[in-house]
């Protein structure tokens, strides 16, 4: 178990290093002189050159990369060009905002999605099953910005049950902040719920048809013991992997929902940094996003291995 884990961690670090190099290179390829971007078109050439010297942007690319990389691994991403302040606090606050939103999404998605999938799987072929599958598929094809806008209009505007903006006022507590996130979370829940339910349903159907389930039933175990100890434990393996992957997406890929509900998450941070040609912010944001994607995928694999002994054996030497 230790060696595969170490191998996995090694490949993870290699991926992140590659991403960091690519992002840094992409930043260099984009047109625009950093000093000129910061000082504007009317600054004189001398002032621009002086600033570039101060920032080190007049150095050879490898020297710049090493300078950036050596600081980045210790968590120092330098100063943002547009915000004229250290990048790290912006990244940390955007991760917090994204994580809060992802947390609320998972709070609804996991129990409802898995619950619906189990019901559909246990009664496969019934009206309830068809209803769940059809609803899930229909909801997943509605883009989140469309359902987001509809939900905003119905629950935010007409019924006024929820605040329109996802960002809670200054100094709001946990409950107020979570309340503000319900409306932004719903379109994402609706979008993903069908996927989670279908994965669970397929797992349940497969597990119920498996020999070990038949054996358990023949052993005379109660239906609930059969369900929780034998069916679900096996059926949920692929679902867990799916949820882990989706968590990565929830933490970094929600530009439209974040913009619509005014949430300053990671997606928004990277988008605005790209728009402002703010390379240090862009590089830090993309690197953090990549770290989240790669690590959530790894956590998914790990959970799958923990739940499924066969995979552990497969990975063993």
Partner 1 sequence: MTKRSDIDLLRGQSPRNPSRDIWNVAVDEYAQGFLKRRNLLKYAALLGLTGFAASQGLFTSGAARAAGAGGGTVRVGLGQPTKAIDPVTVTDPASIGVISQVGEYLILDDPKDGVQPKLALSWEADETAKRWTFKLRPGVKFHDGRAVTAKDVVATFERLVDPSTGSGALSAYKGILSKGGAKLVDDETVAFDLDQPNSNFPFYVSSDVFNAVILPADYAGDFEKNFIGTGPFKFESFRPKQGASFVRNADYWGDKALPDRVEIKFFDDEQAQVLALQAGQLDVIPSTTRLELAIEGNPNFKLLSVQASSHDEVHLRTDQAPFTDKRVRRALALTIDREAVVKGLLKGRAIVGNDTPFAPIFPSADPSVPQRKQDIEEAKRLLGEAGVPNGFEVTLTTERAYDIPDYAVLIQNFAKKAGIDIKLNVLPQDAYYGSATFGSSPWLDSNLGITDFGHRGTPDIFLNATLKSSGAWNAAHFNSPDYDALLVDYGKARDLQAQRVAAGKIQTLLLDETPLIIGYFSQYSRIVSSKVEGVRFTAISHLLLDKVSFV
Is 90 among the residues that bind partner 1 (CB under 8 A)?
yes
Whose Cβ is closer to partner 1: residue 214's or residue 275's? 275
Count of beta carbons in the 10 Å neighbourhood of residue 316: 9
Is 98 among the residues that bind partner 1 (CB under 8 A)?
no
Is 309 among the residues that bind partner 1 (CB under 8 A)?
no
Whose Cβ is closer to partner 1: residue 54's or residue 219's? 54
Residues 6+ apart with CB under 8 A from 106: 243, 247, 250
Is 260 among the residues that bind partner 1 (CB under 8 A)?
yes
Rounded distance between C-alpha atoms, residue 61 and residue 209, angstroms: 60
Whose Cβ is closer to partner 1: residue 65's or residue 261's? 261
Output the smallest distance, CB 162 to partner 1, in A. 9
Is 294 among the residues that bind partner 1 (CB under 8 A)?
no
230: DSSP letter: I
Is 163 among the residues that bind partner 1 (CB under 8 A)?
yes
Helices (H), ranges, the chain: 2-29, 34-39, 45-55, 61-72, 87-122, 127-140, 144-151, 174-209, 211-218, 223-225, 233-252, 255-260, 266-275, 279-307, 309-315
Per the CB < 8 A criterion, the answer to whether 229 and 115 are in contact is no
Rounded distance between C-alpha atoms, residue 75 and residue 89, angstroms: 10
Is 177 among the residues that bind partner 1 (CB under 8 A)?
no
Among 74, 170, 175, 211, which residue sits at the site for partner 1 (rule: CB under 8 A)? 170
Whose Cβ is closer to partner 1: residue 26's or residue 137's? 26
Query: DSSP for 111-131?
Result: HHHHHHHHHHHHTTTSHHHHH
Binding mask 200-229 for partner 1 (x = CB under 8 A): ------------------------------
Instruction: Tell me phi and psi for residue 264, to 5 degrees.
Output: -85, 75
Output the smallest distance, CB 44 to partner 1, in A. 4
Is 30 among the residues that bind partner 1 (CB under 8 A)?
no
Whose Cβ is closer to partner 1: residue 86's or residue 115's? 86
SS3 10: helix
Triad 194, 197, 310: Cα angle to 5°:
135
Instruction: Tell me phi and psi for residue 86, to 5 degrees.
Output: -55, 145
Whose Cβ is closer to partner 1: residue 83's or residue 112's? 83
SS3 86: strand
Among 107, 112, 128, 164, which residue sits at the site for partner 1 (rule: CB under 8 A)? 164
Output the smallest distance, CB 16 to partner 1, in A. 26
Is 44 among the residues that bind partner 1 (CB under 8 A)?
yes
Is 152 among the residues that bind partner 1 (CB under 8 A)?
yes
Positions that interact with partner 1 (CB under 8 A): 31-33, 36, 38-44, 46-47, 50, 82-85, 90, 149, 152-153, 156-157, 160, 163-165, 167, 170, 258-262, 264, 268-269, 272, 275-277
């Amino acid at each position: 178990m230790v060696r595969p884990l170490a191998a996995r961690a090694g490949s993870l670090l290699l991926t992140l290093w590659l991403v960091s190099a690519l992002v840094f290179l992409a930043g260099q390829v984009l047109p625009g002189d950093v000093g000129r971007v910061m000082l504007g078109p009317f600054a004189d050439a001398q002032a621009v050159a002086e600033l570039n010297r101060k920032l080190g942007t007049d150095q050879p690319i490898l020297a710049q990369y090493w300078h950036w990389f050596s600081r980045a691994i210790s968590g120092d991403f330098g100063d943002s060009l547009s915000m004229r302040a250290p990048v790290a606090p912006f990244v940390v606050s955007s991760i917090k905002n994204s994580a809060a939103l992802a947390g609320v999404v998972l709070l609804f998605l996991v129990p409802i999605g898995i619950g619906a999938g189990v019901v559909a799987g246990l009664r496969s072929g019934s009206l309830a099953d068809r209803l769940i599958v059809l609803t899930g598929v229909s909801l997943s094809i509605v883009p989140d910005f469309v359902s987001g806008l509809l939900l905003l209009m119905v629950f935010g505007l007409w019924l006024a049950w929820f605040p329109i903006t996802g960002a809670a006022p200054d100094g709001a507590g946990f409950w107020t902040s979570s309340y503000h996130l319900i409306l932004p979370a719903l379109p994402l829940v609706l979008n993903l719920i069908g996927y989670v339910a279908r994965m669970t349903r397929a797992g349940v159907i497969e597990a119920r048809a498996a020999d070990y389930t038949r054996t358990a039933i023949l052993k005379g175990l109660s239906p609930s013991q059969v369900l929780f100890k034998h069916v679900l434990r096996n059926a949920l393996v692929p679902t867990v992997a799916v949820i882990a992957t989706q968590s990565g997406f929830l933490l970094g890929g929600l530009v439209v929902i974040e913009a619509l509900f005014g949430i300053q998450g990671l997606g928004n941070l990277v988008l605005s940094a790209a728009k402002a040609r703010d390379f240090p912010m862009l590089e830090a944001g993309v690197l953090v996003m990549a770290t989240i994607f790669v690590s959530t995928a790894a956590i998914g694999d790990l959970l799958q291995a923990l739940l499924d002994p066969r995979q552990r054996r497969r990975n063993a030497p």
